[in-house]
């Protein structure tokens, strides 16, 4: 029966809200269940009512690697893999890229809206204010071996920062949480540049607060230590900033999941970010751009592409920079990167690996193996070529990915903390080991002789 609501002059009949349900029949008991569907999903704990007996724990869903499980409700980033759509807080990536700089996008991700003039001024002030590192962080960095991978240094120093800011433990304190967000976004370029300078045995260059975010990174990495007179190329600074916008967030990917999972135990954001950066380091995730360059170098020229394709189709290796868990169409970020490549090459000269990459994409586009599996170039396929042309060493590529992803990690971490539905992350398992085993009876102790 429709409910009625009485207003001063009229009586309005309110239609009962339609609840979509999934009706399932348990073949074991012939019982029927109605499970509500919300936002296109069922609530997995609702399956627990499906039981064969009172002692039964209830039905679980089995989903290794989360192929079809939403672990949260989020309003940060939207991806439609079928159409190749990416939006941050509703804004299409194509509209943001080139029109809003990275720090504006970082504000958008963290706060849910683009900053007004005063908000932007405050945000820039707060980020700039926190770019310096404690002097002891330098000592910490000095302890790494000269050829330590910069991503290993980044992961460790991020975790190390937690010991410098013990207040960060108070994750429910709004003001303190904001301060750590400013610090983390601010310090990423400094940590990255210091890791680089350490790896080439050069003196660290301190941040310059009059430079833009990407520009500052370039200056800290490349400024000769004997001069303060160094201005990074404006085209390269602009393109790097755009790459940062493209990499800022990507909903529930492996590293974001690590951030949320560790954060769900209420660990401080430095520790969570170290976990997220560690996840990003892997060659199947943010480490892929490093692998792409190695692969393209190995191929060397177009003539060797058929051999690589044979190896890939024979299941002997992966085509690095291809494929994506969500995109089964073109990755919009890769398309934008391809468009700005020309601007970079006008400054740096054309990267010969680009010709190999373009040809590889062409071959893959017309090959059934890739067509059937919906394998397209992902963001890592072209970003590595641009980074390499800009002079970044290959082992800095995952670090360059981690710098802007920090804002996405923090936006997702904060969302998780404020979400009343979230609890400590703790999946179930299907135990398939031995039911119970007993140790063999102990041998009789040897009598003392």
Give the 3-state secondary structure of residue 67.
coil
DSSP letter, residue 91 = E
Long-range contacts from 209-213, C-beta under 8 angstroms, 24+ separation: 209/128, 209/131, 212/101, 212/237, 212/241, 213/101, 213/102, 213/103, 213/127, 213/189, 213/241, 213/244
Identify which of residues 212 and 287 has a Cβ nearer to ligand ACO in the complex. 287
Find out whether 408 and 188 touch, Cβ atoms under 8 Å: no
Identify which of residues 176 and 318 has a Cβ nearer to ligand ACO in the complex. 318
Sequence-ordered list of residues with C-beta below 8 angstroms from that of 434, at least 6 positions apart, any chain: none
Distance CA 449, CA 442 (A): 20
Give the shortest CB-326-to-ligand ACO separation in angstroms. Answer: 8
Identify which of residues 212 and 408 has a Cβ nearer to ligand ACO in the complex. 408
Phi, psi dihedral angles at 175 (to 5 degrees): -65, -45
Identify which of residues 221 and 312 has a Cβ nearer to ligand ACO in the complex. 312
Give the helix/strand (H/E) hosting 34: strand 31-38
* 207 to 284, 405, 407: CA distances (angstroms): 32, 20, 19
Identify which of residues 145 and 374 has a Cβ nearer to ligand ACO in the complex. 374
Give the shortest CB-85-to-ligand ACO separation in angstroms. Answer: 16
Q: Which of 287, 312, 315, 314 is nearest to 298 (CA)?
A: 312
Q: Which one of the listed residues 46, 134, 233, 285 is annotated catalytic? A: 285
Find out whether 213 and 244 touch, Cβ atoms under 8 Å: yes
DSSP symbols for 264-327: TTT--HHHHHHHHHHHHHSTTTTTHHHHHHHHHHHH-SGGGHHHHHHHHHTTSS--TTB--SS-
What strands, in cross-sheet order, belong to the sheet with 91-92? 77-80, 85-88, 91-92
Distance CA 168, CA 177 (A): 7
Give the shortest CB-330-to-ligand ACO separation in angstroms. Answer: 13
Give the shortest CB-375-to-ligand ACO separation in angstroms. Answer: 5
Give the shortest CB-190-to-ligand ACO separation in angstroms. Answer: 24
Nearest residue to ligand ACO, by Cβ distance, number only = 323
For the question of residue 285 being annotated catalytic, the response is yes
Alpha carbon distance, N-terminus to C-terminus of the chain: 91
Q: Which one of the listed residues 380, 395, 419, 438 is annotated catalytic? A: 380
Give the shortest CB-199-to-ligand ACO separation in angstroms. Answer: 23
Give the shortest CB-323-to-ligand ACO separation in angstroms. Answer: 2
397-418 and 379-389 are packed helices; what angle lies between their axes, rounded to 10 degrees?
Answer: 130
Find out whether 237 and 218 touch, Cβ atoms under 8 Å: yes
Identify which of residues 137 and 379 has a Cβ nearer to ligand ACO in the complex. 379
Find out whether 76 and 249 touch, Cβ atoms under 8 Å: yes
Residues in the chain: 449
Q: Tokens 């400094």: give the residue.
A: 190
For the question of residue 210 being annotated catalytic, the response is no
**Footprint of ligand ACO (CB under 6 A):** 284-286, 288, 312, 318-325, 373, 375, 378-380
Give the shortest CB-131-to-ligand ACO separation in angstroms. Answer: 26
Q: What angle do CA 403, 117, 236 make, to 5 degrees?
A: 40
Identify which of residues 4 and 366 has a Cβ nearer to ligand ACO in the complex. 366
Q: Which one of the listed residues 247, 324, 331, 395 is annotated catalytic? A: 324
Give the shortest CB-210-to-ligand ACO separation in angstroms. Answer: 32
Identify which of residues 222 and 401 has a Cβ nearer to ligand ACO in the complex. 401
CB atoms within 10 A of CB 331: 27
For the question of residue 324 being annotated catalytic, the response is yes
Identify which of residues 50 and 379 has a Cβ nearer to ligand ACO in the complex. 379
Question: Catalytic positions, please?
Answer: 285, 324, 380
């Amino acid at each position: 029966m429709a409910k009625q609501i009485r207003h001063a002059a009229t009586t309005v009949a309110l239609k009962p809200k339609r609840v979509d349900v999934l009706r399932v029949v348990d073949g074991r008991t012939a019982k029927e269940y109605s499970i509500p569907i919300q936002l296109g999903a069922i609530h997995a704990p609702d399956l627990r009512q499906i039981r064969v007996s009172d002692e039964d724990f209830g039905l679980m869903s089995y989903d290794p690697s989360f192929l079809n499980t939403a672990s949260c409700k989020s309003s940060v980033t939207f991806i439609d893999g079928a159409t190749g759509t990416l939006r941050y807080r509703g804004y299409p990536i194509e509209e943001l890229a080139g029109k809003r700089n990275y720090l504006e996008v970082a504000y958008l991700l963290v706060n849910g809206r683009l900053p007004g003039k005063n908000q932007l001024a405050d945000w820039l002030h707060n980020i700039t204010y926190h770019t310096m590192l404690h002097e002891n962080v330098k000592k910490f960095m000095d302890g790494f071996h000269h050829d330590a991978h910069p991503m290993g240094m980044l992961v460790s120093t991020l975790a190390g920062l937690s010991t410098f800011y013990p207040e960060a433990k108070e994750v429910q304190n709004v003001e303190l949480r904001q301060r750590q967000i400013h610090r983390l976004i601010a310090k990423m370029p400094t940590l990255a540049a210091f890791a680089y300078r350490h790896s080439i045995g050069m003196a660290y260059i301190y941040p310059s607060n009059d430079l833009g975010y990407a520009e500052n990174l370039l200056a800290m990495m490349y400024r000769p230590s004997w001069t303060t007179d160094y201005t990074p190329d404006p085209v390269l600074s602009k393109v790097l900033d755009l790459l940062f916008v493209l990499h800022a967030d990507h909903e529930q990917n492996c590293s974001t999941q690590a951030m949320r999972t560790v954060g769900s135990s209420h660990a401080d954001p430095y520790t969570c970010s170290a976990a997220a950066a560690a996840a990003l380091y892997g060659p199947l995730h943010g480490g892929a751009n490093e692998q792409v360059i190695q692969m393209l170098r190995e191929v060397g020229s177009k003539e060797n592409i058929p051999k690589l394709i044979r190896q890939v189709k024979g299941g002997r290796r992966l085509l690095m920079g291809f494929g994506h868990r969500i995109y089964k169409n073109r990755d919009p970020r890769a398309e934008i990167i391809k468009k700005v490549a020309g601007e970079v090459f006008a400054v740096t000269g054309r990267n010969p690996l680009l010709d190999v990459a373009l040809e590889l994409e062409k071959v893959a586009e017309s090959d059934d193996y890739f067509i059937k599996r919906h394998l397209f170039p992902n963001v890592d396929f072209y970003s590595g070529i641009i980074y390499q042309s800009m002079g970044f060493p290959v082992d800095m590529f995952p670090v360059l990915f981690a710098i802007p992803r920090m804002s996405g990690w923090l936006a997702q971490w904060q969302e998780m903390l404020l979400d009343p539905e979230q609890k400590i992350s703790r999946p179930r398992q299907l135990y398939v080991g031995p039911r119970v085993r007993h140790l063999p009876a102990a041998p009789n102790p040897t009598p003392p002789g």
